Amino acid sequence: MVLISIPSLLDRSLAPSGKHVIHAYTPGNEPYARWERLDRRSAEYEELKQARSLGMWQALERVIPDVRSRCEVTLVGTPLTHERFLRRHRGSYGPAIAAGEALFPGARTPLKGLWCCGDSTFPGIGLPAVAASSLITANTLASLPQHWAMLKRIGMG
């Protein structure tokens, strides 16, 4: 499965005029063992990175047939990328919580006034889930009329 989002369709400030930002990813299912002994600066690493990204390119091309020729900047992440820049153990996307055994915690914490959102809270890992966790937290803190009033104040409602 490949998830694709184009956030600049909703917020034009995310890309220069006439351009867009595309984010495509697979759920955290890339085996770390395939990557763990590779040097990030090696040709072998680069070749594997390109080979493993082909599925995402093919999924994107089903939506935007000429996408590769139109991209000006492409960044491909691997488990080693996640390990290095996101400080993720073995390049994981987030904690592995087995269905039926446990749940991701909600936004509330034992400390008054401290709320949490992100990939370690419900509904879990991945960009859509992280966005949803922030929405859940915001909706817990403010009513829908309060949200609408705020959007009107900033010129978006």
Last residue of a domain, one of 56, 74, 93: 93
Match 């909703």 to its residue by tokens: 10
Domain check: are 65 and 136 in the same one?
no
> Residue 137: enclosing H or E segment and its boundaries?
helix 127-141
- Write b or e for each residue in 74-107: b if 16 or more Cβ atoms lie within 10 A of its Cβ, otherwise e: eeeebbbbbbeeeebeebbbbeeeeeeeeebebb
Last residue of a domain, one of 69, 93, 117: 93
Domain check: are 52 and 108 in the same one?
no
DSSP-H helix ranges across 64-107: 67-70, 79-85
Domain check: are 28 and 69 in the same one?
yes
Range ranked top by mean pLDDT from 2-6, 49-53, 84-88, 130-134: 49-53
> Which pLDDT score is estimated for 56?
92
pLDDT for 98 beyond 90: no
pTM: 0.64
Domain check: are 87 and 116 in the same one?
no
For the chain, the domain total comes to 2
Q: Which of 8-12, 63-67, 82-86, 88-92 has the lowest mean pLDDT?
A: 88-92
Domain hosting residue 132, numbered range: 102-157
Domain check: are 109 and 132 in the same one?
yes
Domain check: are 11 and 71 in the same one?
yes
Work out the percent of the chain whose per-residue pLDDT is above 70: 94
**pLDDT band at residue 11, thresholds of 50, 70 and 90?**
very high
Domain check: are 18 and 58 in the same one?
yes
> Which pLDDT score is estimated for 96?
65
- Most distant CA atoms of the chain, gap in Å: 55
Domain check: are 67 and 118 in the same one?
no
101 Cβ contact partners less than 8 Å away, ≥ 6 residues apart: none
Work out the percent of the chain whose per-residue pLDDT is above 90: 53
What's 22-60 look like in SS3? CEEECCCCCCHHHCCCCCCCCHHHHHHHHHHHHHHHHHH
Give 106-156 pLDDT, tens digit per residue: 999 999 999 999 888 888 877 778 888 998 998 889 988 998 898 899 988
The CA-based dihedral angle spanning residues 59, 60, 63, 65, taken in that order and rounded to the nearest 10 degrees: -110
Last residue of a domain, one of 44, 76, 93: 93
